[in-house]
A and B are shown apart, each in its own frame.
Chain A
Amino acid sequence: MGDGAAASDLPAWSIDREAALAEPLRSWWSRADARDWAWGGSSGEGVRVCIIDSGVDEAHPAVGPIQGAVAVHEIDGELSVAADDEGDLYGHGTACAGVVRKLAPDCEIHSVRVLGGDLTGTGTVLVHGLRWAIERGFEVINLSVSTTKSRFAADLRELTDLAYFRGSLIVASAHNMPVESFPWRFSAVLSVGSHSGDDPFEYYANPHPPVEFAAPGVDVELAWTGGSTIRASGNSFATPHIAGLAALVLAKHPGMRPFELKTALRAASSNVRSAA
């Protein structure tokens, strides 16, 4: 991944599966035991996952009904959050929701739209939407977007720290290009890059952060607008795999803090080998 070994011919923050397996991580538990303990028998029931993105099309059969949808509006510099019936004008948020639903079929999904329609993807809208989600105490927040604008970095760092201490896990997509962007680089979030596998439960803990995990992000089958299905690539689509897994773990172990979730997910990652 990025700064890590054997990744010079790969995009920023992606991981080579063979390289990951050649450098196994040590753990105090076997991977099979860790997976069973972490999410065995869980469907994500009762866990609220918030998708901060372009909206979610809840009519899509791979997404199903969602439990809430709002949009952040910026009018003459005034920011507000209001109920949203636009659905998803791009498809990106629906794709993320579909991946979460695939892994955690019984979790709640809530949408906070910060892109599409009258929204231009400004950092102020992203910051406001994230603040709103943290204040509502969603257990998992999927953030497959970021901003390259450094003037928002301080606010985003403050917010991600706030989420960490309140017990909301922010699962943030690493940028797909070698550029500075926020908030995925902050240690209070769980950051995600891509690998090229297609098993949704195949994921790697990165021994060379800042990106902490890699999940399927290449040619991923995704729900899109209008009830359609597409195949697309990007860290955006790796991220909800980890958000879905986090929902599974939280449903089985309610109240887990973000650092405990990271530890559990690391112990169950595909490149872990038992120390015994």
Chain B
Amino acid sequence: MSSHQDPLANENGRRALLQSIVALTLSVFGAKACSIMRFDEDARELVFEAVAGEGEGALVGRRIPASTGIAGWSLASEEPISIDDVLSHPRFDREVAEQTGYIPTKLTVFPLLHGEESLGVLSVLDAGATAHFGLAGMQSLGHFASHAAMALAAVEAARRGERSRAAAPLASLAAAIDSLDSERRRQTLALIAALEPLIRRQDDA
């Protein structure tokens, strides 16, 4: 399938999918900011994957510890939580300011549950700031969180597939190197080592 047919075939398409969800959530809930953060289990961090509203364009790729804060609570407990007066607690100020540069009054966080896994969190800042959010609002936002979880799962599956495809030739090369005699293995490894700076320069370009 060509990249034109598969929107998840490259990173731009994946970003666009997640961005469309936070933009829609922001719009529907009249929020000031909305983000999707992915849980990086190895690093024990939450990584911004998409941001709409305050912080848009500046936060994608930024990481925060997964073990603290309201987002951390939602991730660990696999439960949504909505807090109405964030300003009353200085810890929230720091946490949110570090994330977005925007201090909300209200913060609602939903876990992104897919199967039995908690993939990350959907955060909505100042949803319907002038209206009562209530149980019905939580229900609606839960649907958006379910949608975001499915999208993030699809994005992650596409990334894993890409990494797997990229690694396949290297695995084949490693097996070939293993079969060489010691002198030819040394020469081959030296050749690969010499290629590395060249590859890195192309990455930087």
Contact = CB atoms under 8 A, between A and B. Distances in A.
Contact of A232 (B83, B110, B116): B83
B78 A11 contact: no
Contacts, number: 110
B83 A115 contact: no
B80 A176 contact: yes
A54 B113 CA distance: 21
Interface string A100-120: 000000000000000111011
Interface residues of B, number: 36
Nearest to A150: B116
Given A92-B73, A226-B90, A146 B138 contact: no
Contacts of A226: 89-91
Nearest to B84: A231
B139 interface: yes
Contact of B80 (A10, A177, A224, A230): A177
Contact of B135 (A178, A194, A236): A194
Interface residues of A, number: 44
Given A230-B84, A230-B89, A10 B116 contact: no
Contacts of A218: 134-135
A225 interface: yes
B139 A234 contact: no
Given A9-B139, A10-B136, A11-B139, A120 B88 contact: no
B120 interface: no
Interface in A140-155: 145-150
Given A9-B139, A90-B73, A219 B91 contact: no
A176 B68 contact: no
B67 A232 contact: no
B79 interface: yes
Contacts of B111: 177
Given A147-B78, A149-B116, 4 more contacts: A121-B77, A176-B138, A226-B90, A228-B88
